[in-house]
Amino acid sequence: MNLSPALASSTHCCFCSMQCGMELVAKGPGLAIKPSPDFPVATGRLCQKGLHALDHVIHEERIVRPSRRMNRHELWEPVEWTDALSHIASGIKEIQNRYGNDAVCVYGGGSLTNEVCYLLGKFARVALRSKYIDYNGRYCMSSAAAASNQAFGIDRGMTMPLSEIPKAKYLILSGTNIAECQPTMMPYLLEAKKNGAVIVTIDPRNTMTSKSADIHVRLQPGFDSVFVNGLLHVIVAEKLYDEAFVRERTNGLEQLVEAVKPFTPARVEELTGILEAVTRTIARGFAKADTGIVMTARGLEQQVNGVENTLNYINLALITGKIGRPGCGYGAVTGQANGQGGREHGQKADQLPGYRLIEDPADREHVASVWGIDSAELPGKGVSAYEMLQKIDEGEIKAMIVLGSNPVVSSPNSLMVERALNKLELLVVVDLFETETARFAHWMLPGSSFLEGEGTLTNLEGRVFHRPQALPLPGACKLDYELICGLAEELGRGAYFQYDSIEDVFNEMRKATAGGKADYSGITYGRLRREKGIFWPCPSEDHPGTPHLFRERFAHPDGKARLKGITPKMPAEPIDEEYPYILTTGRLGNHYLSGAQTRRTPGLLKKAPVPVAEIHPWLASKIGLGLESKLRITSRRASLVFHVKITEGIQPRTIFVPFHWGEELSVNRLTVDALDPTSRMPEFKICAVKAERSD
């Protein structure tokens, strides 16, 4: 693909939630990417994915015109946009006439701009008038979001800016491999260590992150709350908690004390194998440190007990008073580029823009007035992402529009997802490539890449920033927001989608969020072009934004945080004699999400061309694994064969496989589809399997 001169030299990476600044520079006849020295978050660095981010944008497999086919076995037929949108709208109307408005659903993504996230939610509720919309962020941040809302009354991934990390004297990192998932955050941790901080990592594997730790706890998946209860037991029993903070700024201490009473360090050692001395050392060290930060991620959140696991780690920060002051805080490390903004503005089944709730009458009234409709027209809440796919399989949903996501690879029990998509009467996929999901589609529409669509994003800190359009659209591609508005027009609802620019969309979004928990009303494109990001909430144009949450009060009506005593529960699929090992999944530093972009990037694919299962030497010996052998992993849903790496750096009964591949290399064909009862997050991290040698 030929590249025109850049329309803007500065932009932001499309991958993880750091959203590092980058610059497009001339290199020979084309362009290259280098780190931006100006954006404060990444301290002038890019990781390997960021440095290669141009490659997929100009890839020869890029979809650049609309195409259609009657079924997945036919060849794609290029069509004009007018015909594509007209035919898709006719198909939607026909399906809704037969089955009702809710027969059509929308499946969004966590890497879309705030404006597109907002429009997609509005499109589902106003143009389709369907209750069914959710997004792939349900698989990423929903447990942390639910826990933060319960504990703090508000969900923002991090309660403080990253710049507070070097001030912390004790850091607990659980279920997060920052060195591979957010590499440009590592300098903050290394600076903290240089300043004398103790770093604790909790993970079933020895990771690139754990190599920087002072203490690494190799915890078997599923025992997170057992271990944290041991830490809390020591803090309570030895009266190491911050009595004044707990008394004045929290509720629920009595319940927590009762919950942790049975979990002595000795009992925790019996249950987990973690030495009693290790539990005591971490508990005392964190409690006695002047400053400290707790950070969690998917390792403990992607479980059926993920919300409770997260709440227990939040308990650590609250009971020791390490929140709302310099060098202290809690951070849920957001994974996707705009996972934070994606859930704030209406892609979640139960939410409207600004974290308003779709079932709250006042929230419905406010957003409906901005949209120019009667609040009675708004549908109720739908269901989570995976439950939408189940409803397709059950026959309730007949059509789906997918924008910026690849659920065939990213969903658990993915053979069910493939079966479900085959039943759809209409599947429209908007993407850059023919993904594994698009292979089931009737229509493929070319979307805009991160370099071609202007808009705003919100990084893991809650920092909102502007990303300009850097390149013109290739071929017949449309901007995502124009595509959504065009389809709304064909559906007869175009009057509600009249915008002259993406800035117009943002300004309407500001009104919709005004007064909500995630209040963007004081943020303008003008301010964002002058400033290096503004932290929400920002309720007025003269407001500086809110980098630090909870300095004086929490977001519950009484201003107090909620401590919650946790009784550890079993995973959905415990190991047994038939399936005696635990399969857990995760990311690699070379790849991103379903791999649709990074598997098309030669420099990244070369480093990790296929998924490799990691197992302990004990397990390798037990199953007689030879040097040239492959590993067959079988769950109750499927059986797959992987290349294998034998390493002492993993919990002996745990097998790790990365999830960035599709089809016969897709580990999510094996994973269990049990959901957390609150967040509806699937249990990606714990799946009972058997392991065998495969020659």
Q: What is the pLDDT of residues 477-526, one digit of tens each?
A: 999 999 999 999 999 999 999 999 999 999 999 999 999 999 999 999 99
Shared domain for 162 and 112, answered yes or no, is no
Which structural domain, as residue segments, surrounds residue 173?
158-332
- In this structure, is residue 241 part of a structural domain? yes
Check whether 3 has a pLDDT greater than 70: no
Q: Is the separation of the CB atoms in 121 and 353 below 8 Å?
A: yes
555 is written with which tokens?
A: 């977001």
302 is written with which tokens?
A: 């992607």
**% helix / strand / coil in the chain, to the nearest 5?**
35, 20, 45
Preceding amide of 166 cis, omega within 30: no
- In this structure, is residue 72 part of a structural domain? yes
Shared domain for 357 and 506, answered yes or no, is yes
Task: Give the number of other Cβ atoms within 10 Å of residue 40's Cβ.
Answer: 14
For 418-441, the pLDDT digits (tens) are 999 999 999 999 999 999 999 999
- In this structure, is residue 549 part of a structural domain? no
Shared domain for 614 and 670, answered yes or no, is yes
Q: Indicate the pTM of the whole model.
A: 0.96
For 316-371, the pLDDT digits (tens) are 999 999 999 999 999 999 889 898 888 889 999 999 999 999 999 999 999 999 99
- In this structure, is residue 4 part of a structural domain? no
Q: How far apart are CA 67 and CA 52, in angstroms?
A: 28
Q: Is the separation of the CB atoms in 152 and 561 below 8 Å?
A: yes
Shared domain for 450 and 599, answered yes or no, is no
Shared domain for 34 and 175, answered yes or no, is no
Task: Give the number of other Cβ atoms within 10 Å of residue 647's Cβ.
Answer: 14
- Of the candidates 172, 164, 217, the one whose C-alpha atom is nearest the C-alpha of residue 198 is 172
Q: How far apart are CA 543 and CA 108, in angstroms?
A: 31
Which residue shows structure tokens 């440095």? Answer: 51
Lateral strand order in the sheet of 30-35? 10-12, 21-27, 30-35
Shared domain for 133 and 208, answered yes or no, is no
The DSSP secondary-structure symbol of 12 reads E
Check whether 62 has a pLDDT greater than 90: yes
Last residue of a domain, one of 280, 308, 332: 332
Model confidence band, residue 28 (pLDDT cutoffs 50, 70, 90) = confident
**What pLDDT score does 5 carry?**
59
Shared domain for 449 and 497, answered yes or no, is yes
**What pLDDT score does 628 carry?**
81
- Of the candidates 385, 318, 322, the one whose C-alpha atom is nearest the C-alpha of residue 350 is 385
Can you give the CATH number for the domain in which 662 is found?
Answer: 2.40.40.20
- In this structure, is residue 542 part of a structural domain? no
Q: How far apart are CA 406 and CA 593, in angstroms?
A: 9
211 is written with which tokens?
A: 């190599």
Q: How many domains does the chain have?
A: 4
Last residue of a domain, one of 305, 332, 359: 332
- Of the candidates 668, 140, 684, 690, the one whose C-alpha atom is nearest the C-alpha of residue 415 is 668
**What pLDDT score does 38 carry?**
86
Which residue shows structure tokens 């991958």? Answer: 15
Shared domain for 97 and 128, answered yes or no, is yes
Can you give the CATH number for the domain in which 420 is found?
Answer: 3.40.50.740
Average pLDDT over residues 452-464: 96
Shared domain for 327 and 216, answered yes or no, is yes
Check whether 211 has a pLDDT greater than 60: yes
Q: How far apart are CA 513 and CA 134, in angstroms?
A: 19
Phi, then psi, of 654 in degrees rounded to 5: -110, 140
Can you give the CATH number for the domain in which 165 is found?
Answer: 3.40.228.10
- Of the candidates 689, 683, 619, the one whose C-alpha atom is nearest the C-alpha of residue 650 is 619
Check whether 410 has a pLDDT greater than 80: yes
- In this structure, is residue 534 part of a structural domain? no
Shared domain for 475 and 512, answered yes or no, is yes
Lowest mean pLDDT among 21-30, 92-101, 563-572: 21-30
Sign of CA dihedral 644, 645, 648, 654: negative
- In this structure, is residue 1 part of a structural domain? no
Last residue of a domain, one of 461, 487, 517: 517
Shared domain for 388 and 365, answered yes or no, is yes
Phi, then psi, of 428 in degrees rounded to 5: -110, 125
Distances (CA, A) of 306 to 142, 149, 175, 457: 9, 14, 11, 26
Indicate the SS3 state at residue 69: coil
Q: Is the separation of the CB atoms in 426 and 95 below 8 Å?
A: yes
Shared domain for 252 and 374, answered yes or no, is no
Q: Is the separation of the CB atoms in 539 and 519 below 8 Å?
A: yes
Model confidence band, residue 71 (pLDDT cutoffs 50, 70, 90) = confident
For 613-667, the pLDDT digits (tens) are 999 999 999 999 987 889 999 999 999 999 999 999 999 999 999 999 999 999 9
Residue at 270: amino acid letter? E
Residue at 135: amino acid letter? Y
- In this structure, is residue 550 part of a structural domain? no
For residue 442, the Cα-to-chain-centroid distance in whole angstroms is: 28
Average pLDDT over residues 145-159: 96
